[in-house]
Structure 1
Amino acid sequence: MRHATLAALAIAVFALTGCSAAAGSGGPDQPQIVVTTNILGDVVGEVVGDQAEVTTLMRANADPHSFEISAQEAAMLGDADLIVSSGLGLEEGLQQHLDRAAEAGAPLLVAGDAVEALPYASGDAAGAPDPHFWTDPGTMLDVVDAIEVSASEIDGIDRTKLAEHADAYREELRTLDAEMTSAFEAIPQERRALVTNHHVFGYLAERYGFRVVGAAIPGGTTLAAPSAADLRELSDAITRAGVSTIFAESSQPDRLVQVLASEADIDVRVEELYTESLTGPGEGAETYLEMMRANTARISEGLTK
């Protein structure tokens, strides 16, 4: 492993692009793990602790469907001791680089391969695998298991310490799941209807007994745009379900309100959620656990008003 080259390259990348290492990461003389999305980056950092340098490519508040990387960042993939991606079609702007790194023999963990993927139930992507598995902390237990197995194969990783960190984080996920279960059970069954700006909560709905009524963008990607027919269908679904609050990704709630008001002639309250990305420090969803707790509180409040 070319540690000096990796250290210099990492410094250059951080200076040029603002890439950040996940919390708990080690130093430049340690194994190098490169993670595509910041949600996975946070989880990987928690599992490996200070035993590896964890570099997350996706910046805070970015869109995993559309973010791209620089040539310097692409080069990091080829030198990594492990690459962790989400998969299931999520990283649309990055897939060519991941494919190239895999073809060159880079160790690659695709988190989506470790879970029981649910299909999109409706919309343009109906039947295709849904990549938003992180909305179910129970499913994330399978991801943690896969991270532990892959990280244990890296030279220089202490498997005992790795197991301790993985076990501790699994317990955090179980606690989160219990909290979410308790909060959502307080919502009357007839009010457990989710409308979002795009299909992202299939896993959460499956685990906690929600109905996904519809989405402003009918596909599974934020790169699509709703048609007039899509908006009419969504308006009808909202009316039938008696939904008073719909949920939108925190980066674009105003856009959804404006579209529904002007194109579908419907007036509903829109609550912001963190669905695709973690935020910067102090912005409400700096870690995966913080993101899920914030979303749980907002969904519970929005559906019980």
Structure 2
Amino acid sequence: MLGGRREFASLFGGPLLPALHDLLPTTSSVEEAYPDGRGVVLRAGEGVLSFDGFVDRTDRLSDKDVRGELDRALRARVLRRGLVLRCAVCQSKQFLIIDKLAQTWRCERCDSGNELDHSAWHRSTCEPAWFYGLHPVAQHLLRDHGDVVALLSARLSAPSQGRPVRYQDLMELEFVKDNEPQVEVDLIAYREDALIVAECKHSDDLGGGVKVKRRTEIDKKCQAAAWVQADQLVFATTASAWKPSAVGAISAAVRGFEGWSACNRPVVRLITDLGTNSSHDEVIRPGT
């Protein structure tokens, strides 16, 4: 929908991300989800924000730049502009996208015809306010933490010392043998002269914290790194730190993996607080 990997990382790994997350409220209470009054909860897990709501949640950009980012997402249909309206018959509150607006509009719940007038507007003002909501595909992506991969892509592709870097990547790759899936990799990237295999998490552990599953997951990433002869093996998370048990398991798995070539065991990097100004990048030495 966005047209390419760079555009994907720019939106879901960029400054609009806090506002995008706020379009998935965990409560049905408008007061709890949007205490600033600049959003509307349609139902738990789905909300919309006004333009000012985006501006308030995007402190790194000017109003003009926020407008530009929103327009790009709107043109790609990842974001949708519309009005929050209430049906006069069933009293259902709904977000009617601009493509469906007309002087007479139909309720999505009861199919009743309604007039587009003062009585239907969510807020009783002289003119209705535009709101912005996510396309269902983007909702699913955020619920499945697909933005974590975008955050890492944005970090790896960021300019270095003020100059652009050579960068390309592929996301969500699966290695298959005899039609049987072997390994799934979140991100394979080429940055400058380094080939990178990366695992991306929103949690502070691997394998759901289960020791056997954790070791299996790490071994699979080692296998993928060995197959492509990666220079770096990255484990990145939006959590503030990896659990010590996860770090120990990564070190032990890399040290004990027998598939490395004699001269090509990758550098292991741990990235934490991904997507924040306090993000930390550490190289660990598993030993020999």
**TM, length-normalised to structure 2:** 0.33
Larger Rg, first or second structure (1 or 2): 2
**TM, length-normalised to structure 1:** 0.31
Higher helix share: 1
Higher strand share: 2
